[in-house]
Chain A
Amino acid sequence: MAGHDILGPVAALAAWSMVMWVWMYATRIPAMQKQKIDAKGLVGTTGRTLDDALPAEVQWKAHNYNHLMEQPTVFYAVALALAIGGQGDGLNTQLAWAYVALRVVHSLVQATINRVMLRFAIFAVASLALVALCINAFMAFVIV
């Protein structure tokens, strides 16, 4: 379909978010068992409560999963709008793939070494790709 290629990177980032979800639990549940935290007795706590209880590297996976529920929601909105408007191909699709690839690298860095400056640099470059997509959507739907 013409103008719909951008749905590829949309699907890829959504799938990647689910990979991070699996990684989060695959590390969190064993860490909770090791700390002898019995989830059956917990009332009203949230994942954030574990920031004080589990090793930082375990929580880094959760931090990144939450991160993927933040800015990428704007990416999904803009990409879907571009696809509906038949503008989801060419440069827009390349920008979208760049955004998704950078977010995957960002996830891997945050979940493992998590050096703040490196993580920030990747986030900043990814944000620039999203800024470009937003400007293109602005030109497509507001300026017309």
Chain B
Amino acid sequence: MIDYSLLAPGAVLALWTLVMLLWLAGTRFPAMAKSGMDVKTAQPGGRGQDLEQVLPASVNWKSHNYTHLLDQPTLFYAVIIFLTLAGGVTQTTLGLAWAYTGLRVVHSVYQATINQVMVRFSIFVLSTICLLALNVMAVIATLG
């Protein structure tokens, strides 16, 4: 019988990613309307990153974080799936995985609001240490 409990922090982080997508949309569209942009007459091919110099920075921060959540967490999903399939679900890996998800949610809220680089960087480093430990345990669990 497979222990699924390590998939829970993954499910939470996936859902959180889409919450950030809603936050992105909920701030971007009013900001675009305010700046007098009309998407209906926009040039074909425009992308989110074209708004970088156009919208206020704090509006784009939500988008930066949504994109960020599609970078490193993809490794996290792979690692927790490896651990689940290789029988690597322990109190330690569960604690680390929940810590990773918790820190990434804090990182998101921080990047989307205050966004001081050093604080954001510190949260990111802490979460990366959790991921690194999980990744080492996944290597041990799958090779062992």
Which positions in A face B, CB cutoff 8 Å?
Answer: 56-57, 59-60, 63, 69-71, 73-74, 76-78, 80-81, 84-85, 110, 113-117, 120, 124, 127, 130-131, 134-135, 137-138, 140-142, 144
Docked Cα-Cα span, A71 to B63, in Å, equals: 13
In the assembled complex, the CB of A93 is this many whole angstroms from the nearest CB of chain B, namely 17
A74 near B70 with CB under 8 A, answer yes
B45 near A56 with CB under 8 A, answer yes
Asked if B111 is an interface residue, CB under 8 A from chain A, the answer is: no
The 5 closest A-B pairs by CB, nearest first: A77-B77, A137-B11, A73-B74, A134-B15, A141-B8
Which one, B36-44, B115-123, B126-134, is touching chain A? B36-44
Asked if B12 is an interface residue, CB under 8 A from chain A, the answer is: yes
Q: How large is the interface on B (under 10, 10 to 19, 20 to 34, 35 or more residues)?
A: 20 to 34
Docked Cα-Cα span, A124 to B24, in Å, equals: 12
B46 near A116 with CB under 8 A, answer yes
Docked Cα-Cα span, A76 to B120, in Å, equals: 27
Taking CB atoms and an 8 Å cut-off, the chain B residues in 1-56 that contact chain A are 2, 4-5, 7-8, 10-12, 14-15, 17-18, 21, 25, 39-40, 42-47
Which positions in B face A, CB cutoff 8 Å?
Answer: 2, 4-5, 7-8, 10-12, 14-15, 17-18, 21, 25, 39-40, 42-47, 67, 70, 74, 77-78, 81, 84-85
DSSP majority for the B interface? helix
- How many A-B contacts if CB must be within 8 Å? 93
The contact sample of 14 A-B pairs, CB cut-off 8 A, is A56-B44, A70-B67, A70-B70, A74-B14, A74-B77, A77-B78, A81-B11, A81-B81, A114-B44, A117-B42, A124-B25, A134-B15, A137-B11, A141-B11
DSSP majority for the A interface? helix
Option from A78, A110, A114, A141 in Cβ contact (under 8 Å) with B5: A141
B4 near A138 with CB under 8 A, answer no
Q: Please judge, given known A-B contacts A114-B45, A142-B11, whether A84 and B77 are in contact too, CB under 8 Å.
A: no
